[in-house]
Amino acid sequence: MSGELVIDVQNLNKSFGDKHVVKDFSLQVRRGEIYGFLGPNGSGKTTSIRMLCGLLKPDSGLGTCLGHDLIRETAAIKREVGYMTQRFSLWEDLSIRQNLDFIARMYGMKDRAEAVSAAIRQLGLEARQDQVAGALSGGWKQRLALAACLLHRPQLLLLDEPTAGVDPVARRDFWQEIHALAAHGVSVLVSTHYMDEAERCHRLAYIAYGKLLATGTPDEVLHLFPLVTWEVSGPSEKLTALSAQLQARPGVVHVTAFGHTLHVTGEDAAALEQAIAPYRNEPGLKWKHAESILEDVFIHLMAKAPDNFS
């Protein structure tokens, strides 16, 4: 994909006290792209996003967001970016309509009343528009928050774990809307913990311990690290014991349990085969080659990260 860069930042750093939360963070996002932002809890995702929308001032580094300087032109960035916070941050004691109306006023929208009515219609909340936002369920709060940050028709969406705690149907609807927006040229940077969501992104970035570890399309990230994976299935009590034994073997990077199967992942095919050799012919166990999936890559990255960057 090519096109103009809506986010282009280099070497952003941010510390809180003596905690270096984000280290040399660089990121390029193109127009119309859905950019997935992955990483474990506390890896600096939220801090990075807040720096991108002008809520935090980077200690060092430079860059632009929608063509505006990240340090000096935060006011312009705020006007054009839609930011959805990780925690629901609309006013729980205002009604749905009052919340949207307030946001529309803050962005100085000319067609405020129509825009708010249209948003409520689109949400399908006409009947409940006068209820207080605090009375909504988690899924509805998330939809309302998205509607609020789309209200001023931003060119760039920064979504901080928008689907955390939302049911699968609402998540699927949410992603359909994100793709529709991207088709209209809106760029989206979305942080998530879900692997299925990562696969729905055009590009991914993986961050751990404040450090960007990998970027690329889902396919590229998958092949960035040549991992070999074996899948073994059998009775669960056997698998539990096996999992602990395999974890300790050289050549095994990690073992992941999936219901009635285990994924045994290693970096080197020969070493891995040697590691599992003693268990290959055990009765009751069925071994087969498996495709490595994104999750294997991320678990691998997460496991490696602290050694390299602590």
Amino acid at 142: Q
CB atoms within 10 A of CB 140: 19
110/104 Cα distance (integer angstroms): 9
Contacts of 264 (CB under 8 A, 6+ apart): 229, 230, 231, 232, 246, 252, 255, 272, 275, 276
CA distances (Å), origin 99, targets 85, 104, 127: 15, 9, 16
Q: Does 15 bind other proteins (CB under 8 A)?
A: no
Residue closer to other proteins (CB basis): 97 or 249: 97
Q: Does 83 bind other proteins (CB under 8 A)?
A: yes
Stretch that binds other proteins, among 84-92, 170-178, 240-248, 291-299 (CB under 8 A): 84-92
**204 - beta bridge partners?**
36, 216
237/249 Cα distance (integer angstroms): 19
Query: 102-141 mask for other proteins (x: CB under 8 A)?
Result: xx-xxxx-----------------------x---------
CB atoms within 10 A of CB 30: 17
> Minimum distance between the CB of residue 117 and other proteins, rounded to whole angstroms?
17
Contact residue for other proteins among 11, 19, 57, 309 (CB under 8 A): 57
CB atoms within 10 A of CB 57: 11
> Minimum distance between the CB of residue 93 and other proteins, rounded to whole angstroms?
5
Contact residue for other proteins among 23, 30, 31, 78 (CB under 8 A): 78
Residue closer to other proteins (CB basis): 16 or 258: 16
Residue closer to other proteins (CB basis): 166 or 255: 166
Q: Does 55 bind other proteins (CB under 8 A)?
A: yes
Q: Does 50 bind other proteins (CB under 8 A)?
A: yes
